[in-house]
Amino acid sequence: MVVKEKISQWFEHFHAHPEVSWKEVETTAKLAEILTDMGVKHHTFDDVTGVVAEIGEGERVIAVRADIDALWQEVGGVYQANHSCGHDANISMVLGALSYLQQEQLGSRIRFIFQPAEEKGNGANSMIERGAVDGVSQLFGVHLRPQEEIPFGKVTPAIHHGAAVFLEGKITGVDAHGARPHQGNNALDPLFAIAQFVKTIQFSPYEAYSAKLTKVQAGGDSLNIIPGTATFAIDARSQSNSVLNELKERIDEGIQAIGKLYGVDIDLVWSDYTPAAEVAEEAAVIAKEAILETVGEEGFAPAIITSGSDDFHFYTIHRPELQAAMIGVGADLGPGLHHPDMTFNREALDIGARVLTATLKKASYMED
């Protein structure tokens, strides 16, 4: 069977068997089965999902990462695991590159990291802790891109993701009768103040950033009770790590000031931080040369800046010496990433696999 057909079969399997973050048990088992059938050395972990495989020889190590988890979302009125971010495609493209590379002479070892829990924003950290990038000099990723970023047939050597973090808050006041508001401490008033406050945070217009409420819960079935308790969540994003850090500080300070103003306690917990991309020029140049070699000038797209985030960039945050870039593959993807009915042109899978193959082979012969 030719590699392109294998890629299609792998995709169909993983698309039909999605698993959410940290529960990619069958996905891990299937990957191990495929790698065994391919005769590729690999290992799994006792305490987390995911697989790391390796081919080639030598001291120098090049690596590529594929994320393997799915989202939990409503599809056709039913909540279920769903590969609407294209991680099933990422798995298939990386497996395809591995299969192509088995037919090539390599200049160094190439490591394949099948990483869990990207959607939770911390799966990369689990792989870092378990030595997945130990000794790695260059790391590449790959991801399908929505149609509004690049069209089908084009490939970009670098995706500049933004940074993101989530805040969960709880306001604690005192319930009161609707006719006697003076006897309580209404949680809705500071909640509305927070909603307005986040809209007032400003940075230079040359910076891309946002902060918005994404969840609000307060009150119960009794409409004559003024709620003393409310919970909320905020999604904060920036195109740079430094602006996101300052954005967090301003949100913290502002919300605590609102709590004092209204005489309520507000507990805050930040979670699922994902850093902005730190793209290495050297890695992006290698990917560009591979794209030109594989699909020509007509298939090349410049680096793209996207407001989305990816925990791929934790690898360079924790290992600053690591040269990294994520390749973006145009796939006529719509209506959009994370849409429950997301679809794309399946021909993009082999294009991505071949570009990745050329990138990894080229990188394997480069000197640090």
- Report how far Cα 10 is from the mean position of its chain's Cα atoms: 21
Phi, psi dihedrals of residue 349, rounded to the nearest 5°: -60, -50
Q: Check: CB of residue 310 under 8 Å from CB of residue 145.
A: no
**Cα separation, 343 vs 360, whole angstroms:** 27
**Residues of the chain above pLDDT 70, percent:** 100
How does residue 2 score in pLDDT terms, banded at 50, 70 and 90? very high
pLDDT at 272 over 90: no
pLDDT of res. 181: 95
Which residues, in sequence order, are CB contacts of 30 under 8 Å at separation 6+? 13, 14, 17
pLDDT at 58 over 80: yes
The torsion region of residue 99 among left (phi > 0), alpha (psi -120 to 50) and beta comes to alpha
Q: Helix 347-364 crosses helix 87-101 at what angle (to 10 degrees)?
A: 50
How does residue 69 score in pLDDT terms, banded at 50, 70 and 90? very high
Site of tokens 């030598």: 58
Which residues, in sequence order, are CB contacts of 345 under 8 Å at separation 6+? 152, 331, 332, 333
How does residue 318 score in pLDDT terms, banded at 50, 70 and 90? very high
How does residue 307 score in pLDDT terms, banded at 50, 70 and 90? confident
Strands 163-172 and 229-238: antiparallel
**How much is the average pLDDT of 90-109?**
97
Higher-pLDDT residue of 121 and 252 is: 252
pLDDT at 153 over 80: yes
How does residue 88 score in pLDDT terms, banded at 50, 70 and 90? very high
**How much is the average pLDDT of 16-39?**
98
Counting Cβ atoms within 10 Å, is residue 16 exposed (0-12), middle (13-18) or buried (19+)?
exposed
Q: Check: CB of residue 53 under 8 Å from CB of residue 35.
A: yes
How many Cα atoms occupy the beta-carbon half-sphere of 51 within 13 Å? 25
pLDDT of res. 122: 87
pLDDT at 189 over 90: yes
pLDDT of res. 329: 98
pLDDT at 308 over 90: no
How does residue 237 score in pLDDT terms, banded at 50, 70 and 90? very high
pTM for this model (two decimals): 0.87
pLDDT at 204 over 80: yes
**Cα separation, 89 vs 281, whole angstroms:** 26
**How much is the average pLDDT of 56-61?**
96
How many Cα atoms occupy the beta-carbon half-sphere of 198 within 13 Å? 23
pLDDT at 152 over 80: yes
pLDDT of res. 121: 84
pLDDT of res. 35: 98
**Residues of the chain above pLDDT 90, percent:** 96
What are 227's two structure tokens? 């709620």
pLDDT at 197 over 90: yes
**How much is the average pLDDT of 218-230?**
96
pLDDT at 368 over 90: no
Q: Flag the least confident range among 194-198, 270-274, 287-291.
A: 270-274
pLDDT of res. 1: 76
How does residue 367 score in pLDDT terms, banded at 50, 70 and 90? confident
**Cα separation, 45 vs 338, whole angstroms:** 28
**How much is the average pLDDT of 80-102?**
98
Q: State the average pLDDT for the chain.
A: 96
Site of tokens 């308790």: 229
